[in-house]
Amino acid sequence: GERGRRVAQWVATHYGRCLDGLRLALKVAHGAHRVLGTWLMDQLAQSLRELSGGRIPLWNPWMPKGLCPPEFRSAPAPTPRQVVYFPSCVVRSMGPAKADPEQRALYEAMVSLLGKAGYTVVYPENLSELCCGLTFESKGYFDQAGDKLRELERALRAASRDGEIPILCDTSPCLYSMRKGIEPDLKLYEPVEFIHDHLLDKLRLTRLPETVAVHVTCSSVKMGLAAKFRAVAEACAEKVVIPAGINCCGFAGDRGFTFPELNEAALAGLKEKLGPDVTRGYSNSRTCEIGLSRNAGISYQSIVYLVDACSVAAGE
């Protein structure tokens, strides 16, 4: 209704402040988890959810911690290899979970990996306010979604010198949404495709002696990236498992927080299909990874962490 539209407009106009609020809420939940422990926190969260009539999102042990608002500074001197990096709002606000093996923020791992491949990073101006609009579109606020997407396109166009420099977003569903609405002269990439097409030949990889799981997100499937996803994972780990019959994870943007049943139904049998040898999973969407971790009982994190862990610069 009209009230919802007004709220959406306020959020769109004060986006950075709203992300600060999300960061604070996640920090409070993470702090409570550390103090209370998993069992007690779980009981408390379920009680609060019941009291709210299901409006409070269901906490689970794989919820991310809130990040401090990051300082993103473009490299002072441009080099021949440049990339515009747009960290999605999810990645700017949601850090790893308490039990995730990799505790760096995703944007830190991304910058580390790009640096090894000889890339200097350019960030769009006014980054704290930028969003691809998917948050609004998924809730039916199409005007606000369009406004945010156009604001992002202007910032990316300026940062990329009108499409001269490739643009990388670390979150697959956001990138898919951007590709649908942004003029095609801007060269837009999500992590798997950029790693596969631009980074692998500039890195020296040592396969990790591990069995890892990979979840190819719906947006990656729609962009035709399943084969590249497998190729990147197989370059980094000795054995890669892509469980049969697990397609969409059912997290559906942020609906998995408030309707965890969707997520559970979509991922029924995931744990059994992975088997005992798989210790870690990788994907390319932070919210999907939360639901995957919860239902698989192992950590799912961005594939960027895997590539960063097994790579050095090609000359080293």
* Concatenated DSSP letters of 258-272: H-HHHHHHHTTTHHH
- Residue-number span of the structural domain to which 214 is assigned: 204-313
Same structural domain, 186 and 232: no
Residues forming beta bridges with residue 86, ordered by sequence position: 169
Q: How far apart are CA 225 and CA 285, in angstroms?
A: 14
Please identify, among 195, 222, 245, the residue that sits at the C-terminal boundary of a domain: 195
Helices first, then strands: H and E counts in the chain: 16, 12
CATH number assigned to the domain comprising residue 307 = 3.40.50
> How many domains does the structure of the chain reveal?
2
Same structural domain, 164 and 260: no
Please identify, among 195, 215, 232, the residue that sits at the C-terminal boundary of a domain: 195
Same structural domain, 159 and 82: yes
- pLDDT lower than 70: segments of the chain: 316
- The pLDDT score that the predictor gives to residue 195 is 98
- The pLDDT score that the predictor gives to residue 145 is 95
Same structural domain, 214 and 186: no
Please identify, among 156, 175, 195, the residue that sits at the C-terminal boundary of a domain: 195
Same structural domain, 213 and 133: no
Q: For 162, list phi and psi in degrees, rounded to 5.
A: 60, 40
- The pLDDT score that the predictor gives to residue 248 is 86
Number of CB atoms found within 10 A of residue 38's CB:
12
Same structural domain, 46 and 157: yes
Q: How far apart are CA 228 and CA 98, in angstroms?
A: 30
Same structural domain, 20 and 142: yes
- The pLDDT score that the predictor gives to residue 17 is 93
- The pLDDT score that the predictor gives to residue 199 is 98
Same structural domain, 187 and 227: no
Same structural domain, 73 and 106: yes
**Cα–chain center distance at 221:** 16
